[in-house]
């Protein structure tokens, strides 16, 4: 692109700080950090002006969400309706099918999604064009402390805290699981987005006290082939609920949107 993408970054947490630092250091040719949006006063800790969402939409042509599913629900349509593009990291918000349909239908801004901590989604999207995928399964394994949720009863919390071996915390579909674990299972929603069916993706969430890495195993089959992807990432030391690689997946998406050549699409 002849003119740089003017990027507004929502969220200055474990993901946002890495993305913001890279943009401010001009690590992504064709993209510049125009502002940061966060509901906390950040002062001089950020390398760009801290603006409100309304101000950001006047100055930016691309908003990067790195702050959680509620941001997508509250602001996604307004961003796109203003003519500003949106790159979503918290794909778990897309388990709300009505919201997903509205985002895909709203413009003139365009919505994009990052695969985050899992690979192979581009291949599954290609295979889906040949026909429906069957037996799509995801097993996510994380440290027990990253999976505790306010809705859990004391019995389940006690099982997690006292576990000495892997414990299945919950199983269900990609429609159900990201709602229960909003900060830990965006991978399930991303996989369902690639497959095109929330209910076709069966998800197991496992707590493992010995898990040095966060692990995602994707298994899928169709009439045209069988597919298995396994990834193991170190958790982010500041926010163990997310993997260290996630902000770099966001940066890769930004590079593609900014027109970097040599990208695998």
List the catalytic residues: 216
Cα gap 194→120, rounded to integer Å: 9
Q: Could you tell me which residues come within 8 angstroms of residue 179 by beta carbon, excluding any fewer than 6 positions away?
A: 92, 95
Residue 67 φ then ψ, to 5°: -135, 5
Question: Cα separations (Å) of 124 from 112, 165, 243?
Answer: 17, 32, 22
Pick from 185, 165, 187: nearest CA to 177: 185
Q: 201 - beta bridge partners? A: 136
Which helix (H) or strand (E) element contains residue 169? strand 167-173
Helix axes 14-24, 246-257, angle to 10 degrees: 40
Name 150's Cβ contacts closer than 8 Å, sequence gap at least 6. none
- Which strand (E) or helix (H) includes residue 20? helix 14-24
- Whole-number Cα distances in Å, 257 to 141, 143, 193, 222: 31, 34, 19, 31
β partners of residue 9: 36, 64
Beta carbons of 76 and 103 less than 8 angstroms apart = yes
d(CA 241, CA 160) in angstroms, rounded, equals 15
């Amino acid at each position: 692109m002849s003119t740089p993408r003017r990027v507004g970054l929502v969220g200055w947490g474990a993901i946002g700080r890495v993305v913001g630092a890279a943009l401010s250091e001009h690590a992504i040719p064709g993209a510049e950090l125009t502002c940061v949006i966060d509901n906390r006063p950040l002062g001089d800790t950020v390398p760009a002006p801290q603006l409100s969402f309304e101000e950001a939409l006047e100055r930016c042509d691309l908003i990067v969400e790195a702050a959680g599913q509620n941001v997508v629900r509250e602001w996604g349509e307004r961003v796109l309706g203003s003519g500003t593009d949106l790159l979503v990291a918290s794909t778990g918000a897309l388990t709300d099918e009505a919201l997903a349909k509205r985002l895909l239908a709203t413009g003139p801004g365009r919505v994009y999604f990052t695969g985050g901590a899992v690979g192979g989604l581009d291949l599954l999207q290609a295979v889906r064009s040949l026909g429906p995928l069957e037996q799509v399964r995801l097993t996510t394994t994380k440290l027990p402390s990253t999976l505790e949720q306010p809705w859990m009863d004391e019995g389940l919390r006690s099982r997690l805290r006292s576990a000495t071996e892997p414990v299945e915390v919950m199983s269900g579909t990609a429609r159900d699981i990201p709602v229960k674990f909003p900060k830990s299972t965006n991978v399930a929603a991303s996989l369902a987005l690639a497959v095109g069916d929330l209910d076709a993706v069966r998800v197991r969430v496992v707590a493992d006290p010995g898990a040095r890495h966060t692990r995602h195993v994707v298994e899928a089959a169709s009439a045209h082939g069988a597919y298995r992807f396994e990834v193991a990432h170190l958790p982010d030391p500041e926010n163990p609920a997310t993997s260290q690689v996630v902000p770099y997946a966001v940066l890769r998406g930004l590079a593609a949107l900014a027109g970097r050549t040599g990208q695998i699409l």
